[in-house]
């Protein structure tokens, strides 16, 4: 499909917001509170945060919630009754204001949830989501999207990508998918046809910091390296990196009982936790933190590229921003590139 | 309604067998006939067994696919879920989802002899393939089973051990760890690797299937190598912790290999390619 480029005036965004609301769409947008920017249900356009480089948390919970029911059960007079969750009546959602590094992360998540077995809970949720990407016009020292195949104006994963043309300027809207076209048809007047400049000059500049192909090839023979120990000595095993990551998909399944009824829930987990792989016998295949750090890096930069043909990292830099011990994934990857076997 | 991968089949506990202290076998039948009709599995596969309100736990299917209409699982009471399962009575409904994972390549073994070596609670993952082979007995030459446990009490499938002992087409050697024997014990006394060395089974046209605690496996492999078994002819199963069973939850992988999808059955040749992470 030829990408349809339209002009959206800066004051048209609010009109678009209102029209979507009138069409009973839920709008999930970045929201600043206590210094943290997270995605929430936006009641009004004014609530939406725009000044951030990157939201504190990723938007992955739109299709992969932090905790979600996978079934309900009750034990009563009629015996055991088990009900799956209703996937047919999920509301349509606009994911508004996603950075390209989050939008592209949806692709990585989808690969995990669809290799071989198709996870219909995830897929049904994602099906209802229309992604409004917003290109980056600024970046910081944690950003490295260009080192893992992305760009500050990457269209992958977005249904419509908005690029602001200059400070306080209008927006270039790239209509990328059928879901994007559906939105345009709801508010055709707001998406104006006009001669539009190239978006590149309005984008942030993010230098390439390492060669991802080289790193993937190197990791293949790097299992026994001492870098894992060196790099993870300061790791607290808190799992913050996994919780803010747009592509981390590891989860736990737990039952919650309330008297005679309850639910089975799926909730986020992290390979950084010591209990993650612990056997009932007490044996733990990844008994020490360095083994768990190695798993994190290997999974993202070696196992996923090989098994799923996609990186498990979008270069958003959140894990480094969130780490209470100041571990920096970019520095660690650069040092892996520099270490000789 | 779209398929919910996490939705278990309701299964009725048809029969409970007390195997050893803390170890039980459940015979499970499908509550819904339609589930039974579309269900099929092969020896080596596993599933997630659940008690609603407590959680799910991963075990192999311990029965043979050659016998239809039910599945069996054998488990030891150790954690939250196995304790809850252990508290279930005959007639109770539990959840089961599966089958997951790869299979023992039993069709490829046709014409060979089979040597089964198991320790303790690891006879169950092998029982499926033992009965599968015995039900197709004409396909194989000699069938030898070497099974050890810490004490006589800890031997599981005691009735089946008697059956195999009486069969002329099966050679069964049972052993208990030194000190684990009872006054009337007539089997071997000694650790499994020692007994394998003593029995010295032939490696000629023979496939060895080894399941047991890590320490038993570690010391049995070199004995088999000394007896001339090629790595390609030795099989085992890995038992990493799992939640989903189908390659999503992220905890069972050994390097790039997912035990739930690429395993649980591995040849020693495959195992040697893997990093030490199991």
Please determine, for residue B160, whether its predicted confidence score (pLDDT) is greater than 50.
yes
Residue with token string 């039980």: B24
Report DSSP letters for B72-131, one per residue.
EEEEE--SHHHHHHHT--TT-EEEEEEEES----TTTTTTSEEEEEEEGGGSHHHHHHHH
Q: If you average pLDDT over every residue of chain A, what do you get?
A: 93
- The strand pairing partners of A81, in sequence order, are A74
Q: What percent of chain A has pLDDT over 90?
A: 87
Interchain contact, A277 vs B251, CB within 8 Å: yes
Task: Using alpha carbons, list the distances in angstroms from residue B225 to B29, B222, B231, B269.
Answer: 41, 5, 8, 12
The mean pLDDT value for B69-82 works out to 95
Is A80 within a domain?
Answer: no
The mean pLDDT value for B32-41 works out to 93
The mean pLDDT value for A26-37 works out to 93
Q: Which of A202, A222, A239 is the last residue in one of the domains?
A: A202
Select from B18, B27, B44, B64 the least CA-distant residue to B157.
B18
Interchain contact, B3 vs A120, CB within 8 Å: yes
Is A117 within a domain?
Answer: yes
Clarify whether residues A222 and A106 are in a common domain.
no
Interchain contact, A276 vs B79, CB within 8 Å: no
**H/E element, B271:** helix B268-273
Please give the order of strands across the beta sheet that includes B46-51: B55-60, B46-51, B93-100, B9-20, B23-30, B71-76
Clarify whether residues A286 and A193 are in a common domain.
no
Is A261 within a domain?
Answer: no
Clarify whether residues A174 and A319 are in a common domain.
no
Number of folded domains that form chain A:
2
What is residue A1's predicted lDDT score, i.e. its pLDDT? 46
Question: Please, what is the Cα angle at A7 between A6 and A12, to 5 degrees?
Answer: 125
- What pLDDT band is residue B278 in, cutting at 50, 70 and 90? confident
> In this predicted model, what pLDDT tens digit does every residue of B186-202 receive, in sequence order?
999 999 999 999 999 99
Select from A59, A272, A87, A249 the least CA-distant residue to A157.
A59
> Which residues in chain A have Cβ-Cβ distances shorter than 8 Å to B88?
none
Clarify whether residues A161 and A17 are in a common domain.
yes
> Which residues in chain B have Cβ-Cβ distances shorter than 8 Å to A269?
249-251
> Which residues in chain A have Cβ-Cβ distances shorter than 8 Å to B241?
276-279
- What pLDDT band is residue A341 in, cutting at 50, 70 and 90? low
Please determine, for residue B92, whether its predicted confidence score (pLDDT) is greater than 90.
yes
Q: How far apart are CA B7 and CA A187, in angstroms?
A: 41
Q: How far apart are CA A111 and CA A129, in angstroms?
A: 17
Q: What percent of chain B has pLDDT over 70?
A: 99
Q: Fold match between B9-100 and B113-230?
A: no
The residue in chain B having the minimum alpha-carbon distance to the alpha carbon of residue A248 is B250
Clarify whether residues A41 and A125 are in a common domain.
yes
The domain ranges of chain B are 9-100, 113-230, 238-278
Interchain contact, B255 vs A223, CB within 8 Å: yes
Domain that holds residue A310: 212-250+270-338
For the record, the structure tokens of B180 come out as: 């684990």
Interchain contact, B93 vs A299, CB within 8 Å: no
Pair B94, B13: CB distance under 8 Å: yes
Question: Please, what is the Cα angle at B121 between B115 and B125, to 5 degrees?
Answer: 55
Residue with token string 């030490």: B276
Counting every residue, how long is chain B? 278
Q: What percent of chain A has pLDDT over 70?
A: 99
Q: Is residue A90 less than 8 Å (CB to CB) from chain B?
A: no
**Is 2.40.30.10 the CATH number for B9-100?**
yes
Please determine, for residue B2, whether its predicted confidence score (pLDDT) is greater than 70.
no
What is residue A196's predicted lDDT score, i.e. its pLDDT? 77
Is A207 within a domain?
Answer: no
Task: Using alpha carbons, list the distances in angstroms from residue B57 to A277, B54, B68, B142.
Answer: 14, 10, 23, 35
> In this predicted model, what pLDDT tens digit does every residue of B231-255 receive, in sequence order?
999 999 998 999 999 999 999 999 9
Interchain contact, A281 vs B78, CB within 8 Å: yes
Please determine, for residue B1, whether its predicted confidence score (pLDDT) is greater than 60.
no
The mean pLDDT value for A112-132 works out to 95
Residue with token string 């080894």: B210
> In this predicted model, what pLDDT tens digit does every residue of A300-323 receive, in sequence order?
999 999 999 999 999 999 999 999
Largest CA distance in chain A: 69
What are the phi and psi torsion angles at B206 (to 5°)?
A: -125, 135
Tell me how far apart the terminal alpha carbons of chain A are, to the nearest angstrom.
Answer: 46
Overall fold of domain B113-230 = Rossmann fold (3.40.50)
- What pLDDT band is residue B80 in, cutting at 50, 70 and 90? very high
> Which residues in chain B have Cβ-Cβ distances shorter than 8 Å to A87?
1-2, 4
Q: What percent of chain B has pLDDT over 90?
A: 96
Please determine, for residue A164, whether its predicted confidence score (pLDDT) is greater than 80.
yes
- What pLDDT band is residue B152 in, cutting at 50, 70 and 90? very high
Pair A117, B246: CB distance under 8 Å: yes
What residues in chain B have their Cβ under 8 A from chain A's Cβ atoms?
1-8, 10, 50, 52-56, 78-79, 82, 93, 95, 214, 239-241, 243-244, 246-256, 261, 275, 277-278
> Which residues in chain B have Cβ-Cβ distances shorter than 8 Å to A281?
78
Clarify whether residues A36 and A139 are in a common domain.
yes
> In this predicted model, what pLDDT tens digit does every residue of B171-180 receive, in sequence order?
999 999 999 9
Question: Please, what is the Cα angle at A203 between A200 and A206, to 5 degrees?
Answer: 110
Pair A129, A62: CB distance under 8 Å: yes
> Which residues in chain B have Cβ-Cβ distances shorter than 8 Å to A250?
249-251
Query: Which CATH number does B238-278 carry?
Result: 2.10.240
Torsion of CA B147, B150, B156, B160, to 10 degrees: 40
The mean pLDDT value for A101-107 works out to 96
What is residue A2's predicted lDDT score, i.e. its pLDDT? 57
> In this predicted model, what pLDDT tens digit does every residue of A189-226 receive, in sequence order?
999 988 777 899 999 999 999 999 999 999 988 999 99
Which A residues in the span 181-240 are in contact with B, Cβ-Cβ below 8 Å? 223-224
The mean pLDDT value for B246-268 works out to 95
Please determine, for residue B4, whether its predicted confidence score (pLDDT) is greater than 90.
no
The residue in chain B having the minimum alpha-carbon distance to the alpha carbon of residue A298 is B255
For the record, the structure tokens of A161 come out as: 């990508």
Clarify whether residues A222 and A287 are in a common domain.
yes
Clarify whether residues A194 and A310 are in a common domain.
no
Tell me how far apart the terminal alpha carbons of chain B are, to the nearest angstrom.
Answer: 38
Clarify whether residues A184 and A221 are in a common domain.
no
Report the residue from A118, A223, A266 with minimal CB separation from B275.
A223
The mean pLDDT value for A272-279 works out to 94
Clarify whether residues A112 and A185 are in a common domain.
yes
- The strand pairing partners of B29, in sequence order, are B12
Clarify whether residues A174 and A278 are in a common domain.
no
Q: Which DSSP letter does residue A303 get?
A: I
Interchain contact, B52 vs A306, CB within 8 Å: no
Clarify whether residues A137 and A216 are in a common domain.
no
ipTM for the complex shown = 0.91
- What pLDDT band is residue A24 in, cutting at 50, 70 and 90? confident
Under the phi-then-psi rule, with left for phi > 0, alpha for psi from -120 to 50, and beta for the rest, what region is A107? alpha
Size of interface A-B (CB pairs under 8 A): 126
Q: Is residue A269 less than 8 Å (CB to CB) from chain B?
A: yes
Q: How far apart are CA B263 and CA B164, in angstroms?
A: 28
Pair B62, B128: CB distance under 8 Å: yes
The mean pLDDT value for A140-163 works out to 96
Burial of B16 (0-12, 13-18, 19+ CB in 10 A): middle
Is A197 within a domain?
Answer: yes
């Amino acid at each position: 499909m030829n990408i349809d480029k339209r002009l959206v005036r800066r004051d048209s965004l609010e009109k678009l917001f209102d029209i979507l609301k009138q069409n009973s769409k839920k709008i999930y947008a970045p929201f600043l509170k206590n210094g943290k920017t997270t995605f929430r249900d936006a009641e009004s356009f004014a609530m939406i945060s725009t000044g951030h480089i990157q939201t504190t948390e990723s938007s992955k919970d739109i299709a992969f919630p932090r905790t979600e029911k996978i079934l309900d059960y009750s034990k009563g007079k009629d015996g055991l009754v088990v009900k799956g969750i209703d996937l047919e009546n999920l509301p349509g959602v606009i994911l508004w204001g996603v950075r390209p590094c989050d939008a592209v992360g949806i692709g990585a998540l989808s690969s995990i949830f669809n290799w071989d077995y198709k996870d219909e809970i995830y897929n049904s949720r994602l099906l209802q989501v229309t992604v409004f990407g917003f290109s980056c016009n600024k970046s910081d020292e944690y950003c490295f999207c260009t080192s893992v195949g992305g760009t500050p104006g990457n269209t992958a994963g977005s249904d419509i990508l908005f690029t602001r043309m200059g400070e306080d300027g209008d927006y270039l809207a790239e209509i990328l998918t059928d879901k994007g076209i559906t939105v345009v048809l709801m508010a055709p007047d707001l998406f104006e046809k006009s001669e539009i400049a190239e978006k590149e000059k309005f984008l942030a500049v993010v230098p390439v910091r390492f060669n991802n192909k080289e790193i993937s090839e190197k990791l293949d023979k790097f299992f026994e390296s001492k870098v894992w120990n060196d790099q993870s000595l300061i790791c607290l095993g808190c799992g913050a990196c996994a919780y803010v990551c747009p592509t981390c998909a590891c989860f736990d399944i737990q039952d919650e009982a309330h008297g005679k009824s309850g639910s089975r829930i799926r909730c986020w987990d992290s390979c950084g936790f010591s209990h993650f792989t612990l056997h009932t016998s007490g044996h733990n295949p990844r008994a020490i933190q360095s083994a768990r750090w190695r798993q994190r890096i290997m999974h993202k930069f070696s196992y996923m590229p090989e098994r799923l043909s996609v990186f498990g990292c979008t270069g958003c830099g959140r894990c480094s921003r969130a780490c209470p011990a100041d571990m920096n994934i970019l520095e660690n990857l650069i040092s892996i590139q520099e270490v000789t076997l | 309604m779209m398929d919910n991968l996490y939705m278990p089949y309701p299964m009725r506990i048809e029969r409970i067998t007390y195997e050893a202290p803390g170890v039980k076998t459940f015979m499970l039948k499908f509550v819904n006939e339609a589930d039974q009709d579309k269900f099929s599995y092969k020896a080596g596969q596993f599933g997630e067994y659940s008690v609603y309100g407590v959680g799910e736990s991963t075990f192999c299917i311990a029965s043979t696919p050659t016998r239809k209409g039910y599945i069996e699982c054998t488990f030891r009471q150790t954690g939250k879920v196995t304790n809850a399962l252990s508290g279930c009575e005959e007639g109770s409904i539990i959840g089961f989802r599966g089958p997951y994972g790869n299979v023992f390549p039993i069709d490829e073994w046709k014409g060979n002899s089979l040597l089964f070596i198991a320790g303790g609670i690891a006879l169950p993952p092998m029982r499926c393939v033992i009965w599968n082979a015995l039900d197709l007995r004409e396909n194989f030459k000699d069938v030898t089973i070497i099974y050890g446990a810490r004490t006589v009490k800890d031997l599981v499938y005691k009735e089946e051990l008697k059956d195999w002992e009486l069969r002329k087409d099966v050679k069964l050697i049972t052993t208990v760890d030194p000190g684990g024997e009872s006054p009337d014990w007539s089997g071997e006394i000694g650790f499994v690797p020692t007994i394998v060395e003593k029995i010295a089974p032939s490696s000629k046209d023979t496939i060895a299937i080894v399941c047991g605690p890590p320490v038993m496996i570690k010391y049995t492999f070199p004995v088999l190598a000394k007896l001339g078994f090629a790595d390609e002819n030795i099989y085992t199963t890995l038992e990493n912790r799992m939640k989903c069973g189908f390659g999503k939850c992220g905890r069972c992988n050994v390097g790039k290999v997912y035990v739930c999808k690429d395993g649980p059955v591995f040849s020693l040749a495959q195992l040697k390619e893997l990093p030490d992470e199991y």
